[in-house]
Amino acid sequence: MKTLRDDFPILSITENEKRLVYLDNAATTSKPLQVLQAVDAYYRHDNANPHRGVYELAARATKAHEDSRTKVAEFLNAFPDEIIFTQNTTESLNLIAYSYGMEFLKKEDEIVLSVAEHHSNLVPWQRVAKTTGAKLVYLYPDSDGHLTEEELDKKITSKTRLVAVAHVSNVLGIEIPVEAIIRRARHAGAVVVLDCAQSAPHIPVDVKKLDVDFAAFSGHKLYAPMGVGVLYGKKELLEKMPPFLTGGDMIGSVHEQSATYAEVPRRFEAGTRNVGGEVGLAAAIDYLQSIGWENIQAHEQGLVARALEGLAKIPHVTVYGDLAPEKRHGVISFNVDDVHPHDTATLLDADGITVRAGHHCAQPLMEYMGINACVRASFAVYNTTEDVDAFLNSLQNVRRWMGFGSESAL
């Protein structure tokens, strides 16, 4: 796996004259040459507006657009006409909230969310609840960050009409019991929305096996370009939903006083699409599949295990969530006693180590955990044991740099 790092040009640069140790992969990943070359080739040879022209170049652009859709469908084990291209996970979730939530939820219906949700899968449902009169009900994790059977039984009831949850937490890296949630939602007659932004880069997502109604993820967290995202939806649900955005290419016909809409999925793809990004996403999927899920998971779990073991040896460090590495997918969040998370991140950056500090777009979870912010280190296929060791060696000096005296070494 160490040779994978050579596929990523940005990882060859230096930060503060130090080797770049990129550990902010939960925010966005670096892009391999294979993806960069695919995007470059599209714009050099096939660039045109898909579904618009009858000339050969436009036909090639349309083929690139639809071939990318087919690639994503295969990646999720879905049908191509159940795949909608968006800008990112956030747009995908907003599309569901506005085209499904606003349309089909009503007063006193209950929307079940986890308190650990990213704001993108929380704020849209707040707006739906405010507009429709539906009620928000929150699932709260235990001290290790897990949702228990008791909590699911208590919160998913006959009043539940929609459950919207992240497959993997972007703060704790912990996978939810998605099968148990979907089983209870089916019994209640509720729809399930799965935010796969943090799961799709780390574990296979089979929407048919899970029997999830909607799923969303972003290309840029999956080694693809920014500006391209995916929404999966069961076709029978998508066909009932009005369009989220209106305009070019999502119409059937338009008259002065009326309009009809195109069939799914084009109904939800208004305007010119980011075909270059879609081509890059298809190439990123090919890249991941060439490595293999077993190799990816074994490698990333090894990095997480090494990091957790090292963190346990550093005094005055608190790690949040389950400490078993096999319970996490690429993410560790922590704080250093008496040091603001932003100061920790700044000091690590002086050694060329990039981590994220803040509330991670999960303020309700921060409030529930009793903290304002934390530091997050997140790992990807190109990270190495050397990256982990550099991170740990730098972190053990943070309190000393902040004037708290010497700390015991690793």
- List pLDDT tens digits, range 141-199: 999 999 999 999 999 999 999 999 999 999 999 999 999 999 999 999 999 999 999 99
pLDDT at residue 305 tops 60: yes
State the chain's maximal CA–CA distance in angstroms.
Answer: 75
* Per-residue pLDDT band at 410 (split at 50, 70, 90): very low
Q: Among residues 239, 220, 238, which one has the least CA distance to residue 229?
A: 220
Give the pLDDT score at 3. 86
**For range 326-337, the mean pLDDT:** 97
Amino acid 406: pLDDT? 55
Structure confidence by residue, pLDDT tens digits, 209-231 = 999 999 999 999 999 999 999 99
Q: Give pLDDT, residue 249.
A: 87
Residue 119 has pLDDT above 50, yes or no: yes
Q: Which of 10-14, 147-151, 331-335, 345-349 has the lowest mean pLDDT?
A: 10-14
Rounded distance between C-alpha atoms, residue 232 and residue 194, angstroms: 10
Active site residue 196: no
pTM for this one? Answer: 0.96
Tell me what the mean pLDDT of segment 356-379 comes to: 98
The pLDDT, as a whole number, for residue 226 is 98
- pLDDT surpasses 90 at 248: no
Please say whether the beta carbons of 114 and 141 come within 8 A. Answer: yes
In the predicted model, what is the mean pLDDT of residues 282-297? Answer: 97
For the cut 80, the answer to whether the pLDDT of residue 16 exceeds it is: no
pLDDT interval class at 408 (50, 70, 90): very low
Instruction: State how far the Cα of 25 lies from the Cα of 386, in Å rounded to an integer.
Output: 16
Considering the candidates 1, 36, 137, 361, report the single residue annotated as catalytic. 361
CA atoms in the 13 A half-sphere facing the CB of 223: 28
Q: How confident is the model at residue 409 (pLDDT cuts 50, 70, 90)?
A: very low
Structure tokens at 373: 């912010």
pLDDT tens per residue, range 307-325: 999 999 999 999 999 999 9
Residue 1 has pLDDT above 80, yes or no: no
Residue 407 has pLDDT above 80, yes or no: no
Q: Backbone phi, then psi, for 383, in 5-degree steps? A: -70, 155
Residue 281's pLDDT band (boundaries 50, 70, 90)? very high
Both ends of the chain: CA-CA distance in Å?
25
Per-residue confidence (pLDDT) for residue 44, from 0 to 100: 98
Instruction: State pLDDT tens for residues 73-117.
Output: 999 999 999 999 999 999 999 999 999 999 999 999 999 999 999
Percent of the chain residues past pLDDT 90, beyond the cut: 95
Average pLDDT over residues 238-253: 93
Nearest-CA neighbor of 171 among 121, 222, 210, 124?
Answer: 121
The CA distance from 46 to 14, in Å, is: 35
pLDDT at 242: 96
Contact status, residue 226 vs residue 210, Cβ threshold 8 Å: no
Examine the pLDDT at 388 and tell me if it is beyond 80: yes
